[in-house]
Structure 1
């Protein structure tokens, strides 16, 4: 072998070794190794350390690395429980190929404070790619971007509705991302929504890096919903099966309703809202979806759907202000 060929061979082997490793917070996981990393994010004002537990599962065989993440909004408990349940049931212990990085709670601050945001009021999911010297939300986003997103091939980020809004189990992906569309079909949720990328979100940052990511939405913040949890677990396992990473997954129970866009039906005036239709129901144009009254029964305002569609989310807060979101309506066209 001549010297040039030897040098090329040496660097190729070096790259292959480096590429076969997952490194997080100074800990290296080679092929076939699994374990947990506690990454220090910051401290509370009391001086208490805030650690982010990250679980890594690796097969001995080469394959894709998939991120399963929950709790980016700390009050969205269903996503946390979905990943916790899969960890508890050892779903990733015997991978055929590839790797899984599982992070049940990405926003430890919000989880501790029953909050969507971190203590400074900023949203981590509007802070990507982040900055090491930025706000607290920006620092957490920077850590996730640098240490996690750079090492994955695909991702599923689990969310719920916020502010007393319930989301019907659904998967969202960017229509231009064909690989994400294939993952959405493999997930086989009740609803697939083609959803635009949100600036500075985890999903948009992953998309910019060429890493297809799904967002699963289901349930309501600060509430556990067993049906939603089961939908999330089953869908995640079907995606891993689709990627040939596991042998078995629950069979799909739905022929997903595929929606091209969505819109909100909002309160015409302030008052007490009583809904007559909920998530998972189809509505026709001008169908009545609820009523708004005042506490003294001096007025009644009927709320109707301006377009036909499928309800993918609904408001559970009875007292509403003018302009509040009442029904999230998915549109077929």
Structure 2
């Protein structure tokens, strides 16, 4: 039987989009002999990574009658990022944050996340999307009200992309998480991995990283971007989602889907049941929370007894975690691991 796609039979290997190791075999179009887009393939580290994304997982990839490889992912020269890391006193987001934080703290945070200033609109901010391999996918330009911290939407939504402003032709934008470049590449047992918090808005990620400095905050950029393709670099981390008010059901449904793909992930209900309007995000309310409520947010990062058990086991032998997931050894009713079955 002749197949339209197949895994490359040569010895050539690429960096895996999940574990970043050079053990990734890409899919080839057997008619054109060209590689498909670089997310389609299989990592041969089956026990420690297990990433496999066949082209059939994306039915919109190709026309049903003729299949063509996708265009390579476009990137922007990192010199544009460096050039934008200036004039923060003129940056409206920076001005807004100075109402609540010290300038030195904000500067340190901006440098960490590679936040830029754009002259596209006076006071505009650039949220650069830099992937785990330090490739600049593009930058999202947004104008923030310096008094309220809200995005300027009148007389039109003030949002644009750097590659469009630069007039780059045939640009194939494939987004990544805002803050993805801060994710460590080295693979370690799950027990040694920190918890990464995911929010929707880039501004929320910046603000919450100023509030809770010991947690890495990243942003999807939109609620639709919460998907496997965007989260691959976080697969070996503990993940907690903080959806905007009114978005819990949608993000929790995606949480269950991601769990089946091997993610260690949970979705916070913190903003559900509040008297806030739909779309309100975490940093919108954090300034007004009392200490008890702020403690509740901090408690979201505490591990359950089951998670603590998993971490203790992973310290001794990380492969047992795969065994637990494979044979579904979590006792949901008892709130623990079926260690009797493991024995």
TM-score (norm 1): 0.28
Q: Structure 1 or 2: larger helix share?
A: 2
The structure, 1 or 2, with the larger RCO (C-alpha pairs under 8 Å, 6+ apart) is 1
TM-score (norm 2): 0.28
Q: Structure 1 or 2: larger strand share?
A: 1
